Amino acid sequence: MSKLKSLISVLALMFVSNVYAVDAATGPNSVYVEQIGNTNTVTIEQVGGTNTVGGVAGSATVDATGVTTLTVTAPSTSNYATINGSSNTVAITQTGNASSAQYNVKGSNNNYTSTVTGNNNQTKLSIGNSTSNGLRNTVTESITGNNNLQITNIVGSDNNVSTTMNTGSNDNQVTNTVTTSNADITHAISGSNNIVNAQQIDAAGSAGHSLTNTITGNYNSITTQQQGTNDTTVNIATTGDHNTVTVRTSSSTIANPATAVAR
């Protein structure tokens, strides 16, 4: 049985048990969610103005300096956040103004939590694609600050991605691209105007790929690529400003090598 709880202005399309959408705000907030499957749980709370959840249509572009711009298409009955599968749990909390959240989950046993506090923040998540299920993924994202962008793309299984942007962290951008199983990514950012691009692909080994990024400072640029059939572990800790770090690991030649752009 579907259950929708709304305050003020919430627009939702839901086919799932245990779904809650809560909006306590004065702005034109909107939520469009379509659930297909069983035992899914979605909890959405928006506080502030002009917050948006859903609407996976849109585009992301990257300029010559590495800055990503996400153009969001407004949610509607034909443009909605979609979960296709069962046993998924999604919890999104947005507090602030002009925030956007998009997600598209295909598969089962996924747990996605995104907490955004501040203004002009954007997040975008895709787990699985039209032909592949994203199974048993755990993604935890927490952004505190203004003008932050978080983009996560996952195809595979048994993945764990966690990103935290602390108080006073503004204009940070994090993009995770994961197409491998047994992936583990953790970002902890304290600072502003940092750009992080993380890639984990290929089969890896029994333990998988692991990445830990700890950033303290401003205008840092970090790009990591973990590829191949061997287990790889990358731990990066930067303190200060304008650091440029590129790390590539693989059991063979790196495919489509990427380089961090100096900030």
Q: Would you say the pTM of this structure is higher than 0.85?
A: no
DSSP one-letter code for 147 = S
> Residue type for 5, please?
K
Cβ neighbours for 219, distance < 8 A, ≥ 6 positions apart: 192, 193, 194, 241, 242, 263
> Residue type for 119, please?
N
CA neighbor of 223 nearest in space, from 192, 253, 256: 256
Say if CB 192 and CB 220 are below 8 A apart.
no
- CB neighbour burial string for 17-53, b if at least 16 within 10 angstroms, e if fewer: eebebbbebebebbbbbbbebeebbbbbbbbbebbbb
In this structure, is residue 169 part of a structural domain? Answer: yes
Number of domains comprising the chain: 1
In this structure, is residue 254 part of a structural domain? Answer: no
Distance from C-alpha of 84 to C-alpha of 115, rounded to nearest angstrom: 22
263 residues of the chain, pLDDT tens digit each: 332 222 222 333 333 344 444 444 445 577 777 767 667 777 877 777 677 777 767 777 878 877 777 777 776 777 777 777 767 788 888 787 777 778 887 777 778 888 878 777 788 888 776 666 666 777 888 877 777 788 888 777 677 787 777 655 678 888 888 888 788 899 988 888 899 999 999 988 888 899 999 999 999 999 999 999 999 999 999 999 999 999 999 999 999 999 999 98
Say if CB 121 and CB 93 are below 8 A apart.
no
CB atoms within 10 A of CB 86: 16
Domain of 144 in residue numbering reads as 19-249
Say if CB 7 and CB 23 are below 8 A apart.
yes
